[in-house]
Amino acid sequence: MISSVVRASLLRRVVGIRAQSTWTQVKMGPPDAILGITEAFKRDTDPRKMNLGVGAYRTDAGSPFVLDSVTQAENQLLHEKLDKEYLPITGLPQFTRAAAQLAYGSSSPVLDRLAITQSISGTGALRIGGAFVQRFCEGTPTVYVPGPSWGNHKAVFGDCGLTVKPYRYYDAKTRGLDLEGMLEDLSNLPRGQIVLLHACAHNPTGVDPTPDQWARIQSVVEENGHVAFFDMAYQGFATGDTDRDAHALRTFVEAGRAPVVLAQSFAKNMGLYGERVGTFSVVGASRDERARLESQLKILVRPMYSNPPVHGARIAARVLTDPELRSLWLSEVKLMADRIIGMRVALRSRLEKLGSSVAWNHITDQIGMFCFTGLTAAQVDRLAQEFHIYLTRDGRVSMAGITSANVDYLADSIHAVTQ
């Protein structure tokens, strides 16, 4: 018989063991910077408050925008009462085919040798792409990203086991492109590295190379045997013209000498944020190579998530392939781009009318959803504390959060903290 004293001792020991969780050593992770901005914005009760941190389009009334082309496509699909069966590993063929044509051009000669898979939006495309280059590029290549770049690039590629380093891109003095620094850095890299390029509407700076500058960049990438890894999250969203926004990608592809891979997203240009619709593609040298590349993409995707979601892909496919819906969508893309361009003009104009001693031409020189204002961290803090305006501490403003009703207040506040 076990005495009550021994029984109590054993019980305490068991309870103590249970209290020491297997996960005790797991530390609290750092908060997400954008989430922190949103939480601070929500807590603020001032009616003038502005959230300029989130990278999602808003109407001039400050509301989320569901595109009419998307709504019509979705209604058609619901009326057809389609099944919910699994898609193939590489996704919905009607969608990936239309997405490839949108990115590379409907008459591009590479379409018949393009290996492509549907992805979980742009982030998922980057994750597949990172795994692909990590597995199949010779040696141990490093991914070089613009300085600065989208914050998630480093995390995504790092989780693929890749080293991530910056190359010069943004010139803080001119608030424009440091082309010579960029070309020098790319020329001095070891051969065969992975060069991440924003196809258009660079995030976070809004600074894009000109067509002539892209030609020089292409030559340097080609001469040094690098792989061009394009991230195209904003096609159509930069200029309002999907072909114009694909110029950089097509420049590289048409030259045909540098390896090209592409991560493509439909979150911004179709407003399909929560549907997670995208693609990852690799330009092959032949149809035979395309088949081999696709076989390996399937092997990569299968243990990640088996196959992608169907609903958003069906919407995107319908919008891209139905002539009337496509025409409507293109007009809506231009509407979104034009509204953001209009807010750039209005913000700069107001700042200049206030007699600001700061040059604000970069507001309209930059393009796309974001503007790299040049505001310091201290100035950003003042905007939040004194004026209830929230943005990331690097001075990045989401232009989509500006409306005709609040642009003057924003300009007045920026003027106050930059005097």
Active-site amino acid positions: 150, 231, 268
Q: What is residue 23's DSSP assignment?
A: T
CA 108 from centroid of its chain's CA atoms:
24
Q: Which of 136, 164, 161, 140 is nearest to 152 (CA)?
A: 164
At 46 the three-state DSSP class reads: coil
At 104 the three-state DSSP class reads: helix
Gap between the Cα atoms of 239 and 65, Å rounded? 18
First to last CA, the chain: 84
CA 243 from centroid of its chain's CA atoms:
18
Edge-to-edge order in the sheet of strand 260-265: 114-120, 277-283, 260-265, 227-232, 194-198, 142-147, 163-168
DSSP secondary structure string, 187-240?
HHSPTT-EEEEESSS-TTT-----HHHHHHHHHHHHHTT-EEEEEES-TTTTTS
CB 284 within 8 Å of CB 132: no
Q: Which of 296, 257, 256 is nearest to 280 (CA)?
A: 296
